[in-house]
Structure 1
Amino acid sequence: MKQPLIVGIDVSKLTLDIYFKPFEIFFQITNETEGFYKFLSQLSDFMADTKDVLVVMEHTGRYSHRLETFLQEQGIGYCKLSSLQIKRSLGITRGKSDRVDAQRIAEYGWLRRDILQAQDPLQPQLQQLQSLLSLRAKLVRDRAGYVCRLKETKATSSSCCLAFEIKSQQKVIDYLKKSIDEVEEQIKALIKAEPALDKTSKLLQSVKGIGWLIAASMICYTANFKKFANARKFNCYAGMAPFKHDSGTSIRGRARVSHLANKEAKRLFTLAAYSAINHNEELRQYYQRRLAEGKRKMSCINIIRAKLVARIFSIVKRQTPYVQQLAA
């Protein structure tokens, strides 16, 4: 078998620090098209076939988007990993620099080259959906902050400038509300314009408790249900899958969920669970029965969240809308 080349890249806003493993070559390029072609030139000196190359980098948000697009165009495989995953694999370390980080990423990829796989390129529509959902979340947080501040201003302020402060903050709140509405319209239009996404969205919304926002978020998180094999995998990703906590004969802790999770997805499904309990007679009876048995409230909510996720994955697999079961 031909020896592969693992390329560790430490991504920053302006530069890319690159380390070739096993050739132990390091160089730095700019995070722009000119730098990408310099990287390609260096790569051709060591590997004639890009199929034997795997680029490994950390999740850095938007900083790696242009590089990912370039790699896709050149047919070079890449995978993005959690920085915490890499950091915890290193053991005891000393010092830190961009070059060292690139080398450590490359070494991580080299040790796991047999199990790491190039990820599927994200469709442009999904990338745009991801960006719009991120923008909406930021606007919602900003609006909530101003609403809270305005409430405190009205309750505690006694200055002569009170009217001006209220008017100024209310103006910002109104502007943010308008911006949120516009972003939401863009999200809905984007999903409706793509038949595959539109069909998935309608399927998900057939489940009581699942609205258009959760449907759009699930499409984004799962890459239109191509990223996770089953509901259990997604529950683990979203911090809704309980794990045992025991050791030997002395430690017998209750099962608990992990805090290493997508907290936004967990928050959305918490809201969906409360909505389902209020509007779905079957789930309401199940929730009340578990509470009567002495189960903790959040454990019961977590069960409802898991049930909603299981239903979502089932209807997507069947490609048929959810049929509501009659409560006994």
Structure 2
Amino acid sequence: MSASAALDVLTAGEALVLLAAEETGGLHAVERFRRFSAGAELNVAIGLARLGLRVGYLTRLGDDAFGRFLAEVLRREGIVADFASVDQGSSNGFMLKSLEADGTDPQIEYFRRGSAASRMHAGDLARLDGTRARHLHLTGILPALSPGCSELAQRLAERAREQGSSLSFDPNLRPRLWPDREQMIRSINGFAAISDLVLPGLAEGRLLTGRAQPDDIADFYLALGAGAVVVKLGPDGAYCANQQGLRAHVPGVQVKRVVDTVGAGDGFAVGVVSALLEGLPLDAAAQRGCAIGARVVQFPGDCDGLPTRAQLQV
């Protein structure tokens, strides 16, 4: 078996370069940007690696400066990079993000069509031969990128089930990436139904289930077959429920100043997944998720606020 054979967590997705505005105003008028890494699954991988977990990340990087920057990020963050290949002749996706003085959701523009990661398919699973992970984390972004990526996500979930790995799923809705709303809902709920943990935001849950209240959203996914559900409520915390009968509201963590809301949900996933892998109960895991999510919104980049083990308070 290879050095990468034993992982705590495996995830897969598209690594993006984030160009974050350093001045307020419309993106068309901004002259100064700062470079960060981004991508929901990469954010989660970085957060878990900082907490001391051995994390593998399956992706394709562009054959360009952005791809080389992201390869260096993987190395610097201690993520097992065996599964991140360079797609020859392809460009890496990137995004622009505005700076909002009042901490409201920023304006974001994506440039990812035809990117290296969108060219992944089930054949990329060959890079995982001989590798086992305790846990697989997926989001709804990967299956939205392309038909090949959708097949890859499905095969990854099936592989996790076959290997006895636990599976968490964050819907992370990107409606513009899907052909239509019906296909998005059908695909996302299909992944949720086979997951041990589902992590919808409240607005996402309402769209995906047609139900308004957090407890009703959780019950919808439990009835589909999910093992546990944690509904993210933003500043109001989270609602968690599982098949064993737990029903609990976890209060949010208040912050003095919100700098940037992007990445908070990924930080929340880092908290919940890491805590569950340590054997903590679901409500305690949600508490850690709230704490890390609150920390993330106080920093400008998606990953700047993700704590190390020494910085972890919960």
Q: TM-score range by the shorter chain?
A: under 0.3
What TM-score, normalized by structure 1, do the two folds share? 0.26
- Which protein has greater RCO, CA pairs closer than 8 Å, 6+ apart? 2
Greater helix share, 1 or 2?
1
What TM-score, normalized by structure 2, do the two folds share? 0.26
